[in-house]
Amino acid sequence: MRKTFAKFWQKPEKEETVENGISTENLSPVDKAMNNLIKMKEATKLLRASAPTVRKYARMGHYKEYHFGEKLVFYDKEEILNFILNRNVNLKES
């Protein structure tokens, strides 16, 4: 009995890697947009800046903030990456 009970808590010997069951082709535009949103912590890592700086850039209009409730804030990953690329191009030109 003890051996069978322990098997439930152990990891399976063969782990199958299963990709996301939903293909990106079948997603609606809303689902595609939601998959592209990232949280504040990920945005700070991408920009290598603090949370107040990320918020300041959003208020300045470099990219948009998406609020869900009072505290839940998301950012569009593509917009942030475009901002980073455009900022680097502008620095090289000057």
Report the C-alpha gap between 72 and 68 in whole angstroms: 5
| pLDDT top residue among 14 and 39 | 39
The domain locations on the chain are 30-94
The DSSP symbol for 50 reads -
pLDDT in tens, 40-72: 999 999 999 999 999 999 999 999 999 988 889
Tabulate helix, strand, coil % of the chain (nearest 5): 55, 15, 30
The third-level CATH classification (topology) of the domain covering 30-94 is Multidrug-efflux Transporter Regulator; Chain: A; Domain 2 (1.10.1660)
Partnered with residue 37 across adjacent β-strands are 76
Identify the band that residue 83 occupies on the pLDDT scale cut at 50, 70 and 90.
Answer: very high
